[in-house]
């Protein structure tokens, strides 16, 4: 650099002042919206450049892996107890969803027995966005992420139905059943 003054310190203070005006909940909502916008645009670009089948496959792989990483990070940061039952898992799942995007889905969770639960998604941001974009062949990335959470927590499980084309895009009810303690993930 030359003899000109570095503006970074002054600019940083001004930015901190502006960001300080955001309530924590508004900052969190803005970060989630920015991330979801990135996610949607990434999928759309890959679908246009490489085809929707490739975009679906890559999205499911990436969603699964981010699910694994974020679950491990959240468990470690919040010092969550080890998950040893469906009840433990459902609490952990609600923590994950509550942190990562509580307004992105409207859903119900019911425990079907001591080893299983069912998620029924009434409203899903991914379905809404892919439908708006005209992507009828979208394959669910949401439950690929859930599978990543389960894997990160060291849980064996079976998922029914298996991942595939978005159930809502097929005009079906979005209902997935997870049974813990099965021999391995069925994704």
Q: Residue 121 is part of which domain span?
A: 25-180
Q: Quick check: is 53 in a domain? A: yes
Instruction: Give the model confidence (pLDDT) of 40-90 as tens digits.
Output: 899 999 999 999 999 999 999 999 999 999 999 999 999 999 999 999 999
What are the tokens at 176? 């997935």
Does the N-terminal peptide bond of residue 161 adopt cis geometry, omega within 30 degrees of 0? yes
What total number of domains does the chain contain? 1
Instruction: Give the model confidence (pLDDT) of 124-163 as tens digits.
Output: 999 998 888 888 899 999 999 999 999 999 999 999 999 9
Q: Quick check: is 58 in a domain? A: yes
Mark 2-24 as b/e (b = at least 16 C-beta within 10 Å).
Answer: eeeeeeeeeeeeeeeeeeeeeee
Identify which of 93, 92, 86, 88 has the alpha carbon closest to the alpha carbon of residue 107. Answer: 93
Is this prediction's pTM over 0.85? Answer: yes
Q: Quick check: is 85 in a domain? A: yes
Q: What is the CATH number of the domain that holds 128?
A: 3.30.1380
Q: Quick check: is 10 in a domain? A: no
Q: Quick check: is 17 in a domain? A: no
Average pLDDT over the chain, rounded to an integer: 92
Report angle CA 10, 15, 20 to the nearest 5 degrees. Answer: 125
Q: Which uninterrupted H or E stretch holds 152?
A: helix 142-152
Q: Quick check: is 186 in a domain? A: no
What are the tokens at 21? 């005006």
């Amino acid at each position: 650099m030359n003899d000109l003054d570095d503006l970074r310190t002054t600019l940083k203070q001004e930015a901190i002042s502006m960001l300080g005006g955001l309530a924590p909940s508004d900052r969190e909502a803005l970060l989630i919206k920015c991330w979801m916008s990135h996610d949607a645009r990434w999928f759309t670009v890959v679908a246009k450049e490489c085809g929707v089948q490739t975009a679906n496959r890559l999205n499911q792989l990436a969603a699964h892996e981010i699910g694994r990483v974020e679950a491990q990070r959240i468990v470690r940061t919040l010092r969550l107890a080890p998950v040893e039952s469906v009840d433990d898992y459902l609490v952990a799942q609600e923590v994950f969803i509550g942190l990562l995007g509580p307004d992105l889905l409207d859903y119900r969770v019911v425990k079907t027995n001591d080893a299983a639960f069912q998620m029924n998604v009434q409203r899903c941001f991914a379905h809404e966005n892919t439908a708006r974009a005209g992507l009828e062949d979208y394959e669910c990335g949401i439950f690929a992420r859930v599978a990543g959470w389960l894997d990160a927590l060291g849980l064996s499980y079976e998922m029914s139905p298996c991942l595939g084309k978005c159930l809502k895009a097929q005009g079906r009810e979005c209902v997935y059943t997870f049974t813990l303690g099965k021999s391995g993930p069925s994704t």
